[in-house]
Amino acid sequence: MPDAATSSFTSAELVLLRYIQSHAQTVPDLSARELAAKAGCSAATVVRLSRKLGYSGYTEYRFALRRQKHPTVSAGALPRRDILAETAATSHLNQAKDIERTADLLAERDTVILVGGGLTHTALEYLHHYLFSASCPTICMPNDELSLDAIASAGPDAVVLCASVSGAGSTLSLAREAHNRGLFVIGITSSLTSDLVTFCDICLLATSAPRTDSRIASRLGIVAVADEIARTYSHRHHTGQVIEKEARA
C-alpha cells in the first residue's frame, strides 16, 4: 500500500475502511458497535473514521453507505450534501509531500500522459489545460486504445497519471500496462480496495459522493486533487511576473 493511502488514517482506521469497502452490502445494516466488532476495532474508531470522511458521525456515514447500497432511492429524498466537508476530507486524505512530488515530476519529465474516462476525463482535461497555461505540456487522453498506444510508445522516463473513481475498467488496465512497462504511475481514485493502488508509485485519494446512479456520482473529489496538483505546480515552478490576490467574501 503506498504511503498516500495511510496519510491521515491510523492503521486501525485503514483496516476498517477496507472492511467497509469490501462488505458494502452488509455494513449499512450494522450499528457502530456491530461494525467495530466485525472489523476488529473499537466503536470510537468507527466514529472517528466517519468524521474524517466528512460526516457528522457514523449515523450520517451509514446513511451515505445505504444510498450506495440502494441506488434506487428517490432523488427528492436525498439529504443535502456537505460539499465543503467532502472537499476538506479529500485534502486530509492525501499527504502534501505526495502532491508536491507529483507536481515536481510534471516539471522534471518530458512526457506526462493523463488518462481517464467520461466525467473523470473532463477533470483531467482541466488539469491538462491549466498545466499547459502554466507552460507544462502534457498529453491528455480518454481511457481507450489511443492511450494504450501512447503508453506503449512512451519512453522509459514517461509519467502516466491515471484517474478513476472506481479504480476499475479500462483505466485500471492502462495503469497495469504502464506499470508493467516500468513507467512511473500516479493514480487518483476513490476506491482503496481497487487494484489501481497496487500499480501506482504515488496513489492519491479523492472522495466521491454517491448519487442515484453510479454514472452520475460526483467527480468533485477528483477535480479537487487535480486542482491541488495544478496550484502546487504553478506556484512551485513558475518563472516570470506573478500577480496574486486573495478572494474575499
Binding site residues, another protein, CB under 8 A: 72-78, 80-81, 83-84, 87-88, 91, 96-97, 99-100, 103-104, 107-108, 118-119, 122-123, 125-126, 129-130, 133-134, 155, 157, 211-213, 215-216, 218-220, 223-224, 227-228, 230-232, 234-249
Cβ 86 vs Cβ 207: under 8 Å: yes
240 in Cβ contact with 224 (< 8 Å): no
130/199 with CB nearer another protein: 130
Q: Report the nearest approach of another protein to the CB of residue 134 (Å).
A: 6
Choice between 12 and 159, CB closer to another protein: 159
Residue placing its CB nearer to another protein in the complex, 11 or 74: 74
Nearest-5° Cα angle at 222, 109 to 86 = 140
The least CB distance from residue 176 to another protein, in Å, is 25
- Cell numbers 467532502 correspond to 86
Q: Which is nearer to another protein, 18 or 237 (CB)?
A: 237
Measured from the CB atom, is 149 or 213 closer to another protein? 213
Please report which helix (H) or strand (E) contains residue 185, including its range: strand 184-189
Helix (H) or strand (E) holding 228: helix 220-236
In the complex, least distance from residue 73 CB atom to another protein, rounded to whole angstroms: 8
Q: How far apart are CA 43 and CA 58, in angstroms?
A: 10
Sheet containing 202-205, strands listed edge to edge, beginning at the edge strand earlier in sequence:
139-142, 112-116, 159-164, 184-189, 202-205
